[in-house]
Amino acid sequence: MEKSKITKNRERTEAKLITAVAEVLAVRGFGKLGVNAVAKQAGVDKVLIYRYFDGLDGLMERYAKSSEFWPPASELLGEGEQRMHLAQMAFADGFSEVFRRYANALRLRPLTLEILSWETIERNALTIAMEEVRESMGLELMEFLSELNPPEADWQAIANLFSGGIHYLAIRARKVTTFTGMSIAEDEGWERLIASIGFLVSNIEANQQ
């Protein structure tokens, strides 16, 4: 078989296995996630999980790095002209826009929210890989925000408060639709939350002038 065909076959098989991780998690839950279950879901020999990923831990790490699991920078910051437009916004507007995209991206990934919830009670290869991906993305976001000429403040701590709140409310919204009487299951409620981020950041800016 030609080398290009072998490469394409491997790429297709790897993609099927990565997708199978998500499907097993979604249908059968974390307790049923194993080499046999993933291989069966993908319709391939389980030997390929070891050959291509060095085992289940390696496969889960690849899944954690996929855009299906965690939003890439291109989704949060845009590319080309879109990213340039974001970079030209006033700091408060750019800051709140990044967090609006971040909240939307997480809400579109219910399985990611399940794993975010899961990591609070158990650490394993998948949650550790997710932490590494999230840390890397967080640092990239902070670097971008630092380019927006922010006023003097501990923006890393402020961003952590906002992102932590988004994580908690998005996780909670899977089962509970309100928080202190405010809808967290509908877009309207989330628009209020993001608008409040912009309001708070604008006030921090005003106090620094």
Indicate if 48 and 90 belong to the same structural domain. no
User: Do 94 and 22 share a domain, yes or no?
Assistant: no
Alpha-carbon distances, residue 114 vs 36, 58, 88, 163, 167 (angstroms): 22, 20, 35, 16, 11
Residue type, 195: A
What 8-state DSSP symbol labels residue 150? Answer: P
Closest CA to 67 of 8, 12, 137: 137
CA gap 95, 112 in Å, rounded: 23
- Written as six digits, the tokens of 135 are 């840390």
Q: 201 and 107, same structural domain?
A: yes
Domain co-membership, 9 together with 96: no
Q: Please indicate, yes or no, whether residues 111 and 54 belong to a single structural domain of this protein.
A: no
Asked if residue 184 and residue 162 are part of one domain, the reply reads yes
- Looking at the fold, whether 89 and 33 belong to one and the same domain comes out as no
Residue with the larger pLDDT of the pair 101 and 137: 101
User: How far is residue 38's CA from residue 43's CA, in Å, rounded to a whole number?
Assistant: 8
Question: How many domains does one find in the chain?
Answer: 2
* DSSP helix/strand/coil, 184: coil
Can you point out the beta strands (E) in 123-208? 178-179, 182-183
Domain holding 96, by residue range, is 73-208
Among 41, 64, 87, residue at a domain's last position: 64
Q: For the segment 125-179, what is each residue's pLDDT rounded down to a tens digit?
A: 777 877 888 888 888 888 888 888 888 888 889 999 999 999 999 999 998 999 9
Phi/psi at 130 (5° precision): -65, -40
DSSP conformation letters of 144-202 = HHHTT-PPSS-HHHHHHHHHHHHHHHHHHTTT-SEETTEESSSHHHHHHHHHHHHHHHH
| 132 Cβ neighbours under 8 A, 6+ residues apart | 64
Residues 167, 128, single domain; the answer is yes
Residue range 52-73, pLDDT digits in tens: 999 988 898 888 888 888 888 8
Which of 40, 64, 88 terminates a domain? The answer is 64
Q: Look at the pTM and tell me if it is higher than 0.85.
A: no
